[in-house]
Amino acid sequence: MGRIHSAPAAYYGGPGDRIQMDFRLSGHVMGQELAYVKKREVAVTVTGWDQVDRVELLKNNRVIHRDFPMHRVPGRSSWNRPVLVRVEYGWGPWAALGADRTADWDLHLSVDGGRLEAVQTCFQSGPLDEDRRDRIVAQSDHHLRVQSFTARRQLVDDVPTKAVVLKLLGGPETRLSVTQQGTQPFSLTQTLQQLAESGEIFKLGDYPNESVLVHRLVFHDHYHTSYKVPDADDGKGVNWYYLRVVQANGQLAWSSPIWVEQGR
């Protein structure tokens, strides 16, 4: 069951990443009804926490417009806006094979030559543990400390990973360091330019030990979009519009509809 998010007089749902959505029809927000108007304008603003694969505008449950942010080509000016970097950790041995264990994480993420603007946690509920919790211990403009734990047991759909997504303001030479302290220590440092070209994975030992994956960087061009679409009455009675957003990682969000009364 998806979480319900709210904006002023507007509601939408999503099962995972907290995708921000502003969807308006001729100035009216999600969930409202309009008196009949022949000419209409839809205004859309979407901000994701990964590449946005597509944004679909539906009228009477049929797609009438699609936008594909992930197909845009970033340029030099793209570095002037914050970028996203997802740090995912976990995996490890299979409980079904009798190789079950819990990995404890004490992750320190440091930014050199840039600033940490915001953080999105991707902590799932499993596995259940009376003594362990996922939490952000410390956060500043240049540092984030996360204490967490992962295991393959008690997981829905066998997704044995958790993650944090960093919104960073910096340039190609900005350095992101990921350090694990305590058991199985390691340290990994990449520039944002390197992460714009490819992600990086660090294995905490031979297979099937846990791993850390620093995903490829996502530019603002790819996780944000804003536009307007004109539309008009099609003579088919009451019309209803809603918005659907799909990220490249499979996360999605959808709006409640906006209704337009039938013309007389």
- CATH code of 93's domain: 2.60.40
Mean pLDDT over 170-187 rounds to 91
Same domain, 101 and 135: yes
Three-state secondary-structure class, residue 196: helix
Name the pTM for this structure.
0.89
97 to 148, 152, 157, 207: CA distances (angstroms)? 24, 11, 17, 14
Beta bridge partners of 11: 6
Structural domain count, the chain: 2
Residue 77 lies inside a defined structural domain of this protein:
no
Determine the structural domain holding residue 24 and report its residue range: 3-70+221-260
Same domain, 198 and 163: yes
Write out pLDDT tens, residues 148-166: 999 887 766 667 899 999 9
Same domain, 152 and 200: yes
pLDDT at 6: 36
Same domain, 93 and 131: yes
List the CATH number of the domain containing 59. 2.60.40.10
Mean pLDDT over 55-59 rounds to 97
> Does residue 248 have a pLDDT over 90?
yes
Binned at pLDDT 50, 70 and 90, residue 1 comes out as very low
Same domain, 196 and 111: yes
Mean pLDDT over 193-222 rounds to 93
Same domain, 89 and 207: yes
Residue 75 lies inside a defined structural domain of this protein:
no
Residue 205 lies inside a defined structural domain of this protein:
yes
Burial of 197 (0-12, 13-18, 19+ CB in 10 A): exposed
Binned at pLDDT 50, 70 and 90, residue 3 comes out as very low
